[in-house]
Amino acid sequence: MVMSVQETQVRPAAEGTGLTAAAAATAYAGALPLLVGAILAWARPADLATFILPIMTTMGIALLAFFGGVRWGVAVMGNKGPTFRQLAGSVVPMVLAIALFQIDGIVTVLTALSVLIPLLLLDDLRATRRGSGAPEWYLGVRVPLTIMMEVSFVAALILALTHESLSAL
């Protein structure tokens, strides 16, 4: 069966009605490794956690930078052009991500991610209410995605704090 280009394109979300299937699928697929990682780390902390927790922090740092990139994209797509505040707000997550890559200590990085990711979401929600943020459909996926990320990071943080061998990572 041959599909035309039009049939293979993802339809955009109608204004205010929700997500495209592509946006939802890729967002939740992005959180899945964090959730699975947290579960596996808790299931076998003695051997798997020492491998999984650093991967989780690397992914979390990358997602922090990615959310900054989304902000940049939203800022430059506005009809009036981006403001300095919008551009600065889109660069801050990348700067923080670079700093987190330099920090030794899994507990410190997991704590930072557990604080920064929801703070970024709150600021994104405020920007959308002001009319200068991402569209509503994006926040429809970003909120549950952030919750899934938070559950994963907090579970990993608790594990690291309660197992001496992990807190030394």
In a domain, 100, yes or no: yes
Q: What would the pLDDT profile of 106-116 be if each residue is shown by its tens digit?
A: 999 999 999 99
Which of residues 26 and 65 earns the better pLDDT score? Answer: 65
**Of 159, 57, 35, nearest in space to 105 by CA:** 57
In a domain, 99, yes or no: yes
- How is residue 78 annotated by DSSP? S
What are the start-end ranges of the H helices in the chain? 5-8, 21-43, 49-77, 84-102, 106-130, 136-162, 164-167
Contact present, 134 and 74 (Cβ < 8 Å): yes
Q: What would the pLDDT profile of 37-52 be if each residue is shown by its tens digit?
A: 999 999 998 889 999 9
Per-range mean pLDDT, top range of 10-14, 107-111, 121-125: 107-111
Q: Is the pLDDT of residue 7 over 70?
A: no
In a domain, 125, yes or no: yes
Contact present, 23 and 137 (Cβ < 8 Å): yes
In a domain, 70, yes or no: yes
Looking at residue 106, what is its pLDDT? 95
Q: What would the pLDDT profile of 60-89 be if each residue is shown by its tens digit?
A: 999 999 999 999 999 998 888 899 999 999
In a domain, 12, yes or no: no
Contacts of 102 by beta carbon, 8 Å cutoff, 6+ apart: none
Q: What percent of the chain has pLDDT above 90?
A: 60
Q: What would the pLDDT profile of 138-162 be if each residue is shown by its tens digit?
A: 888 899 999 999 999 999 999 999 9
Looking at residue 168, what is its pLDDT? 75
Residue numbers of the domain that contains 138: 22-167
Looking at residue 137, what is its pLDDT? 84
Number of domains in the chain: 1
Question: Helix, strand, or coil here: 134?
Answer: coil
Can you give the pTM of this predicted structure? 0.84
